[in-house]
Amino acid sequence: MELSYLKTLIAVVEQGGITRAAEYLNRVPSSITTRIIQLEDNLGVQLFIREGKRLLVTDKGQLLYNYAKQIVELANEAELQIKSALPKGKLRIGAMESTAAARLPNLLAKLHLQYPQIDLELTTGTSNSLYEGLLSNQLDAVFIADTPADDRLDKLGVFKEQLVIVAPKDHSVINTPQDIHKKTLLVFKDGCSYRDRLVRWFVEHDVKTERIAELSSYHAILGGVSAGMGVGIVPEAVLKLFPDKQTLSVHKLSKSIGSAVTDLVWRKGMLSANIAALQSCLTT
């Protein structure tokens, strides 16, 4: 089986059909259909059930897809190790918004200065979405907190963060969730590790939230807190970037909730020269 045929199979399964797979691979749909038919003929099994314009993967198709993913990943890793003796080319980095705003500007400037041949792409998201992006090979390395235990990954702890509760100005001291006047939480969408910590803090103290409001940025969260909408949880490093800090009150959290480590995470066995260059900028 040729590698190109396996890549075609992966695209059809993951994109959900011939047309979208053709767009993803920048090919015409007829060439995708031909490759799938040839693959089925060569193996003597049906990989997809055709229902009109829809393709449903069979159990044999799913099994081949699972192997194809491993084969293509190994091939990519081999190519990467052979070609990447020097840092150059595309480096796809993912980071939580707080990390991108407070920690990465100087680091990425240093990376560009020392390794100008690296073509950097930066994506922001929640810890969960970045983790999934790494596993699906959409990202080369990510900066996330509360990294899941996963034998497929290697990680390096790079930033220590102190998380704090932010509340409206003149709010009384907050030691537990019971001390919060308006128990509306201003947070990122589900999958944010800091949001999970805040919700867990409420659960551990057996306090119910009034409402969870999902906002799209830390500036939106801090602005909402300032306006009296509720409370939020942010790293102190991000709070320093907010221009209207005088409209907020800041409250320390216990070490179990408030101390967090941001890891640089990459796929095991895929430590490219580009990722090694990023590591060297972090440790020097």
From CA 17, how far away is CA 28, in angstroms rounded? 13
User: Is residue 68's pLDDT more than 70?
Assistant: yes
23: left (phi over 0), alpha (psi -120 to 50) or beta: alpha
pLDDT score of 89: 87
Question: Average of pLDDT values for 137-159?
Answer: 94
Share of the chain above pLDDT 70, in %: 98
pLDDT score of 128: 94
Phi and psi, residue 26, nearest 5°: 60, 45
Question: Average of pLDDT values for 21-29?
Answer: 91
pLDDT score of 84: 57
Question: Average of pLDDT values for 125-148?
Answer: 94
| Reduced 3-state DSSP string for the chain | CCHHHHHHHHHHHHHCCHHHHHHHHCCCHHHHHHHHHHHHHHHCCCCEEEECCEEEECHHHHHHHHHHHHHHHHHHHHHHHHHCCCCCEEEEEEECHHHHHHCHHHHHHHHHHHCCCEEEEEEECCHHHHHHHHHCCCCCEEEEECCCCCCCEEEEEEEEEEEEEEEECCCCCCCCHHHCCCCEEEECCCCCHHHHHHHHHHHHCCCCCCEEEECCCHHHHHHHHHCCCCEEEEEHHHHCCCCCHHHEEEEECCHHHHEEEEEEEEECCCCCHHHHHHHHHHHC
**Total-model pTM:** 0.70
Q: What is the pLDDT of residues 75-91, one digit of tens each?
A: 887 777 666 568 888 99
pLDDT score of 58: 93
From CA 129, how far away is CA 96, in angstroms rounded? 10
pLDDT score of 122: 96
pLDDT score of 8: 93
Q: What is the pLDDT of residues 160-214, one digit of tens each?
A: 999 999 999 999 999 999 999 999 999 998 889 999 999 999 999 999 999 999 9
User: Is residue 153's pLDDT more than 90?
Assistant: yes
From CA 69, how far away is CA 199, in angstroms rounded? 36
pLDDT score of 62: 93
Token pair recorded at residue 205: 């103290």
From CA 254, how far away is CA 270, in angstroms rounded? 36
Taking a C-beta distance cutoff of 8 angstroms, is the pair 272, 80 a contact?
Answer: yes
Share of the chain above pLDDT 90, in %: 76
pLDDT score of 83: 65
Q: What is the pLDDT of residues 211-266, one digit of tens each?
A: 999 998 998 999 999 999 999 999 999 988 888 889 999 999 999 899 999 999 99
